[in-house]
Amino acid sequence: MKYVVVLDGERHEVDLDGSLARLGGQAVFAHVAEVEGTPVRLVTIGDEVHRVVARRKSGRGSYTLWVDGYRFEAEALDERTRAIRDISAASAKPEGPAPVVAPMPGLIVRVSVSVGDLVTAGQGLVVMEAMKMENELRASAAGRVKAIAVAVGNAVEKGALLVQLEQLVS
């Protein structure tokens, strides 16, 4: 059975066939033994033995692993499930209107909306001063103001969240 394992963000392909595991094309002996009465497993890979504790997280195939005292975040999915998840992620579109973020460092001089307000595409939401000029930042799409992360007089850095919008439910 082929698996795709993501370990601390790094992707690995593992092919398990009985007690034989292929990791990156190299075949090695692999065996897992329980330590009775504990959550510890002794995992043998080749001629190395590791003490492993695995805790299942929410989400299919997600685990936190402690291997010889070191913590790792892991996701292990069979090849088919991983392919479906990759295709779904590639075709997924962001939901709702884009949040309004600071295009450059500046000072907030006006907030024209309140939480709960309905806004239209192109409506001015926040005015910020940057390089001695006032810049009106507008909504990219219609929506409802979900949160306002700034107030008049706040200094903000480039990329800072200013206003979060949510999609209107019809």
Residue with tokens 């507008």: 138
- What's the CA gap between 161 and 145, in Å, rounded? 13
CATH number belonging to domain 2-91? 3.30.700.30
pLDDT value, residue 93:
63
If you average pLDDT over residues 89-111, what whole number do you get? 83
Q: Where are the domains of the chain?
A: 2-91, 100-166
- Residue percentage of the chain with pLDDT more than 70: 95
Q: What are phi and psi of 83, to 5 degrees?
A: -65, -45
What pairing do the DSSP bridges indicate for beta strands 100-101 and 70-78?
A: unpaired
Q: Which residues contact 160 (CB under 8 A, 6 or more apart)?
A: 101, 102, 149, 150
Whether pLDDT at 92 is above 70 = no
- pTM value surpassing 0.75: no
pLDDT grade for 25, boundaries at 50, 70 and 90: confident
117 burial via Cβ count (<10 Å: 0-12, 13-18, 19+): middle
Residue with the bigger pLDDT between 92 and 115: it is 115
Integer CA distances (angstroms), 130 to 92, 103, 114, 137, 162, in order: 35, 10, 23, 12, 15
The CA-to-CA distance between both ends of the chain, in Å, stands at 45
CATH entry 2.40.50.100 includes domain 100-166: yes
Residue 10 token pair: 């790094």
Domains 2-91 and 100-166 share a fold: no
41 and 35 Cβ atoms separated by less than 8 Å: yes
- What's the CA gap between 167 and 145, in Å, rounded? 9
Greatest Cα pair distance in the chain: 70
